[in-house]
């Protein structure tokens, strides 16, 4: 299958230098093994490769066939691309004979080309097929899901993944509309939502939360993130780092809570006769929390909501 990305669809990598610097690729680690869990259009991967030594290795993952086509243009023997979600990281690395890695980077969310290409169905700004799949080679589209799902489930998805307070009204309107016509385009859904949402958030299209919610659900983004974080941690070598860039509160909450679970450990009752050396130790240390600079946001408005959290595995835990 040959897939090409339209040249006019440009992606600006968020926190490019900061994310790669956070992996601490220096000293003996320049010849280590690194993972880019979300290749996208390759900005982070190319930056990592520029810092690796001749024996270094980079394994990238992506579900999007457009991203895979882009990655296959990198003819660097140190680089490998895997057409899977980072949730499959543990199995994929095992298949490649890799037990431990020296750093993992995940840039969550969707890329600018995915949003800007109307044929992908991610955006309500341009009319196109209501698809929303990151991997267009498998699974069901958003249109197919909306055509068959019951009203309660649609409401739950929009409410839980979009944090939309008008989820009940939107779900009800979707079910009513599909009784007379199929909802197959982004414009149809956006207009339907606009009529169902009675009050609008300043500076935000009324369809924003609904499109976000359906996209997250269709692509199992939060489930994949929870699995991927565990897989990434299990693969980390001692003193190796994870750098995770999230773009909305649901993602960031999962990352924050995961890191907290590794940094904080339950301590036994101090009255018990336990030596200090035998007390439970944390598995990770927090390195940094960072947001894009004002200058980066001016260059790329989509960087506005980004948050990067970085943590390092401690010792041989």
168 is in an annotated binding site: no
For 229, the token pair is: 């974080």
44 is in an annotated binding site: yes
* Cα gap 263→259, rounded to integer Å: 6
Q: What angle do CA 21, 27, 32 make, to 5 degrees?
A: 80
107 is in an annotated binding site: yes
26 is in an annotated binding site: no
Residue 281 CB: number of other CB atoms within 10 A?
Answer: 10
Cβ distance 48 to 71 under 8 Å? no
Strand order in the sheet with 236-246: 79-82, 57-61, 33-36, 101-107, 236-246, 307-313, 284-290
Residue of 241, 180, 289 whose CA lies nearest to 25:
241
For 270, the token pair is: 């101090």
203 is in an annotated binding site: no
228 is in an annotated binding site: no
135 is in an annotated binding site: no
* Cα gap 295→91, rounded to integer Å: 40
Q: How far apart are the first and last CA of the chain?
A: 43
Residue of 64, 70, 76 whose CA lies nearest to 7:
70
Cβ distance 25 to 19 under 8 Å? no
Annotated binding site: 42-44, 62, 86, 107, 114
Annotated binding site for S-adenosyl-L-methionine: 42-44, 62, 86, 107, 114
């Amino acid at each position: 299958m040959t897939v090409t990305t339209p040249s006019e669809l440009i992606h600006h990598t968020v926190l490019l230098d900061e994310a790669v610097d956070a992996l601490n690729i220096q000293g003996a680690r320049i010849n280590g093994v690194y993972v880019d869990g979300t290749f996208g259009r390759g900005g982070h991967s190319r930056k990592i490769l520029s810092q690796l030594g001749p024996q270094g290795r980079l394994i990238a993952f992506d579900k999007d066939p457009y991203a895979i086509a882009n990655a296959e243009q990198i003819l660097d023997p140190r680089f490998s691309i895997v057409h899977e979600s980072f949730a499959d990281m543990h199995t994929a690395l095992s298949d490649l004979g890799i037990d431990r890695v020296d750093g993992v980077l995940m840039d969550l969310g969707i890329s600018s080309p995915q949003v800007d290409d109307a044929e992908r169905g991610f955006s309500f700004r341009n009319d196109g097929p209501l698809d929303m799949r990151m991997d267009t080679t498998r699974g069901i589209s958003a249109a197919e899901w909306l055509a068959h799902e019951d009203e309660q489930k649609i409401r739950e998805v929009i409410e839980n993944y979009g944090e939309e307070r008008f989820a009940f009204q939107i779900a009800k309107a979707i079910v009513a509309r599909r009784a007379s016509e199929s909802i197959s385009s982004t414009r149809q859904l956006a207009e339907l939502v606009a009529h169902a949402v009675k009050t609008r958030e300043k500076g935000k299209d009324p369809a924003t939360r609904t499109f976000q919610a359906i996209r997250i659900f269709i692509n199992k983004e939060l489930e994949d993130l929870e699995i991927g974080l565990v897989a990434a941690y299990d693969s980390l070598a001692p003193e190796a780092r994870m750098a995770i860039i999230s773009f909305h509160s649901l993602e960031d909450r999962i990352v924050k809570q995961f890191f907290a679970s590794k940094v904080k450990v339950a301590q036994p009752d101090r009255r018990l006769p336990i030596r200090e050396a035998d007390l439970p130790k944390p598995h990770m240390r927090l390195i940094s929390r960072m947001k894009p600079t004002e200058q980066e946001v001016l260059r790329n408005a989509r960087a506005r909501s980004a948050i990067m959290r970085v943590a390092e595995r401690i010792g041989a835990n």
